[in-house]
Chains A and B, each alone.
Chain A
């Protein structure tokens, strides 16, 4: 639209710019997000504030409309791409400025399944919330999960499945962890469209998360609990 083309990001004040970035993220406009990110940094914003107030908040709105059926997969993918390009700018700066770290997570799609859009989105939002995320990809078998846990020593293990035929494999992973006596050392979050709360309970996960926003909230809660236990125990 021509009148939208006339918006000059650098002429907006901070609040207007952040609101505009939420819109641009919603519309999946990668270049605009990169530009907005650089402008805010140039105005002395901390990388952490740009991340949380402009990018994560914008993506949260996208998530709500996806959940409510207003947006479908392509819009979410485009928005995720735009957010990713902003994060690429911020990532090295976040490391330098010592932004708060909440914990770490290993995440992967289970064996037999190569659906990964939801997993990628959860990984990105977890990173945006301040978790170190180790994405081990798709079609992950027990050995793959265990090796990644061993290597990264995460607080949280995340498993994703989009097929009814592959979701039972999550139980195989959890049962193996129980056998090895390591189950209770990790918070296990599971997700994917065909799963539900009952399934999460039945396989012994700590929580089933309906979407990325719930995943972030749940992960934060479990981290807070862990810290409280460490403080009292």
Chain B
């Protein structure tokens, strides 16, 4: 276990995680579970999910800022997330690592399992704790489905199933996820994944300091 002393240690001894707002709660939960009080979290807005072209340039700036603040150990709390390799270029430039995998749905499920599934999830829409909690503001509204439900078939016409990959056991979120599936007209399925590959990824980053 890490001692409280380290929490007050200089930035050089600490780890700065710069992550996606969609996984902020989960990163903090893992930090607490594993007693990583030398890990601090800065988030980029979750909205970048819808605008992946902003992720790499903003990450570039955030890493530069963290360096200015004196952080030597920095970890990128993103998967590729649709940056098409741009985020990897930024990571390479600064000599930092990111979470492996294409997106959070994959690393929660387990990247290996997701990669081997080969088509099993072709028509599956994934829901996470974050999406269950913020379905209204993060999916319905930006996709315009609150104002224009007639767009639903254009978005989800080719989908068959909504799979809730649950990070925590929470009946309220499960009810939300089920409701989201109903709204989308998709068959609902539940799978508890916990934090998946996020825990080992963060542990490695925390222990490298």
Which residue from chain B places its CB closest to the CB of A69 in the assembled complex? B51
0 or 1 for each of B134-152: is its CB under 8 Å from A? (1 = yes): 0000000011110110010
Q: Are B119 and A112 in contact (CB under 8 A)?
A: yes
B123 nearest CB across to chain A (Å): 7
Q: Are B102 and A165 in contact (CB under 8 A)?
A: yes
Chain A's interface size range is 20 to 34
Q: Is B188 an interface residue (CB 8 A)?
A: no
Contacts of B123 in A (CB 8 A): 114
0 or 1 for each of B70-86: is its CB under 8 Å from A? (1 = yes): 00000000001011111
Give complex CA distance A23, B51 in Å.
25
Q: Are B51 and A139 in contact (CB under 8 A)?
A: no
- A7-46, CB < 8 A from B: none
Contacts of A162 in B (CB 8 A): 82
- A68-97, CB < 8 A from B: 69, 72-75, 77-78, 81
Q: Say whether, besides A163-B102, A164-B80, A196-B84, A114 and B151 are in contact (CB < 8 Å).
A: no
Q: Are B144 and A73 in contact (CB under 8 A)?
A: yes
Contacts of A216 in B (CB 8 A): none
Give complex CA distance A73, B148 in Å.
12
- B66-113, CB < 8 A from A: 80, 82-86, 102
Q: Is B122 an interface residue (CB 8 A)?
A: yes
Q: Are A75 and B84 in contact (CB under 8 A)?
A: no
Contacts of A64 in B (CB 8 A): none
Q: Are A77 and B50 in contact (CB under 8 A)?
A: no
Q: Are A78 and B151 in contact (CB under 8 A)?
A: yes
Q: Is B159 an interface residue (CB 8 A)?
A: yes
Q: Say whether, besides A69-B51, A112-B122, A114-B159, A163 and B151 are in contact (CB < 8 Å).
A: no
The majority secondary structure among interface residues of chain A is loop
Q: Is A126 an interface residue (CB 8 A)?
A: no
Q: Are A193 and B53 in contact (CB under 8 A)?
A: yes
Q: Is A177 an interface residue (CB 8 A)?
A: no
Q: Are B82 and A114 in contact (CB under 8 A)?
A: no
Q: Are A164 and B148 in contact (CB under 8 A)?
A: no
Partner of A77, one of B52, B53, B154: B154
Contacts of B52 in A (CB 8 A): 193-194
Q: Say whether, besides A75-B144, A114-B123, A138 and B158 are in contact (CB < 8 Å).
A: yes
Which residue from chain B places its CB closest to the CB of A139 in the assembled complex? B122
Give complex CA distance A199, B144 in Å.
31
B45 nearest CB across to chain A (Å): 14
Which residue from chain B places its CB closest to the CB of A198 in the assembled complex? B85
Q: Say whether, besides A72-B50, A116-B158, A138-B158, A194 and B148 are in contact (CB < 8 Å).
A: no
Determine which residue in B86, B154, B159 has the highest number of CB atoms from chain A within 10 A of its CB, and name it.
Answer: B154
Q: Are A74 and B84 in contact (CB under 8 A)?
A: no
Give complex CA distance A199, B159 in Å.
28
Q: Is A117 an interface residue (CB 8 A)?
A: yes
Residues on A close to B: CB < 8 A?
69, 72-75, 77-78, 81, 112, 114, 116-117, 138-139, 162-165, 167, 193-196, 199
Can you spell out 6 A-B residue pairs with CB atoms less than 8 angstroms apart? A73-B50, A77-B155, A163-B102, A193-B53, A194-B52, A194-B83
**Given A162-B82, A164-B84, 14 extra CB contacts under 8 A:** A72-B50, A72-B144, A73-B144, A74-B143, A75-B144, A77-B144, A112-B119, A114-B159, A164-B82, A164-B83, A164-B85, A193-B53, A193-B82, A194-B82
